[in-house]
Structure 1
Amino acid sequence: MRTLAAATAALAIVGAVSGPGSATAAPTPPTPLDTLTACSAQTRADPPVLLIHGTNATVEASLGPVRQALLDDGRCVYGLDYDSRGSVAASAAYFAASAERIAELNAVDAIDVVGKSQGALIARAASLEFTGRANPMRSVVAISGPHYGVEPAGINLAPLAAAVPPGTSALLDLMAGSPYLAKLNSGPMVAPGVRYTMIGSRDDQIVTPYTSAFIDAPGVTNIVLQDGCPQDHAGHLAESTDPRTVDLVLHALDPDRHPTVRCTPNEDRK
Structure 2
Amino acid sequence: MRALFSVGVALAVAGGGCAGVAGAAPASPEATPLTAIEACPASSAGGVPILLIHGTNATVEKSLGPVQQALLEDGRCVYGLEFNSMQPLSASVDYFAGAVDRIREVNHVTAIDVVGKSQGALIARAVSVRSADGATPPLRHVVAISGPQHGVSQTVAGVDITPIGARTPLFNLIDRAAMRDMLVGSPFMTELGRGPMTAPGVHYTMLASRYDQIVTPYSNAFVDEPNVKNILIQDGCEEDRAGHLAESTDPRTVDLVLNALDPVRHPVVRCVPNTDER
- What is the TM-score with the length of structure 2 in the denominator? 0.86
Correspondent of 2:229 among 221, 232, 241? 221
Residue 148, structure 1, aligned to residue 150, structure 2: yes
Shift of 1:132: 3.1
Aligned to 1:102: 103
Aligned to 1:123: 124
CA contact (8 A) 1:151 1:209 kept: no
Aligned to 2:164: 158
Aligned to 1:183: 191
CA distance in 2, matches of 1:48, 1:206: 30
Counterparts of 1:229-240 in structure 2, within 5 Å, are: 229-240=237-248
Residue 209, structure 1, aligned to residue 217, structure 2: yes
Which segments of 5 or more consecutive residues in structure 2 lack a partner in the other structure? 1-17
Deviations 1:166-223 (Å, cap 9, x if unpaired)? 9821111111111111110121000110000000000001111111100001200000
- SS of 2:68's equivalent in the other structure is helix
**C-alpha distance 241-35 of structure 1, shift in aligned 2 (>3 A):** same
Aligned to 2:8: none
Shift of 1:150: 1.0
CA contact (8 A) 1:160 1:172 kept: no
CA contact (8 A) 2:116 2:145 kept: yes
CA contact (8 A) 1:141 1:252 kept: yes
Shift of 1:14: 5.5
CA distance in 1, matches of 2:173, 2:275: 35
CA distance in 1, matches of 2:20, 2:70: 27
Shift of 1:131: 3.8
Deviations 1:111-168 (Å, cap 9, x if unpaired)? 1000000000000001112143242210000000001111226725236389657982
Q: Provide runs of 4+ in structure 1 moved above 4 Å.
A: 161-167
**C-alpha distance 100-161 of structure 1, shift in aligned 2 (>3 A):** farther
CA contact (8 A) 1:150 1:176 kept: yes
CA distance in 2, matches of 1:151, 1:14: 14
Which segments of 5 or more consecutive residues in structure 1 lack a partner in the other structure? 1-11
Q: Which amino acid aligns with 1:201?
A: S
Shift of 1:27: 3.0
CA contact (8 A) 1:52 1:115 kept: yes
CA contact (8 A) 2:19 2:245 kept: no
Shift of 1:42: 1.5
Residue 174, structure 1, aligned to residue 182, structure 2: yes
Aligned to 1:245: 253
Q: Which amino acid aligns with 1:180?
A: F
Aligned to 2:85: 84
Q: Which amino acid aligns with 1:232?
A: D
Q: Which amino acid aligns with 1:146?
A: P
Percent identical: 57
CA contact (8 A) 1:33 1:98 kept: yes
Deviations 1:56-82 (Å, cap 9, x if unpaired)? 100000000000000000000000011
Shift of 1:13: 11
**C-alpha distance 267-165 of structure 1, shift in aligned 2 (>3 A):** closer
Aligned to 1:137: 139
**C-alpha distance 158-79 of structure 1, shift in aligned 2 (>3 A):** same
- SS of 1:185's equivalent in the other structure is helix
Aligned to 2:75: 74
- SS of 1:258's equivalent in the other structure is coil
What is the aligned length? 254
- What is the TM-score with the length of structure 1 in the denominator? 0.89
Correspondent of 1:193 among 179, 194, 201? 201
- SS of 2:99's equivalent in the other structure is helix
Q: Which amino acid aligns with 2:30?
A: P
- Alignment RMSD (CA, Å): 2.1
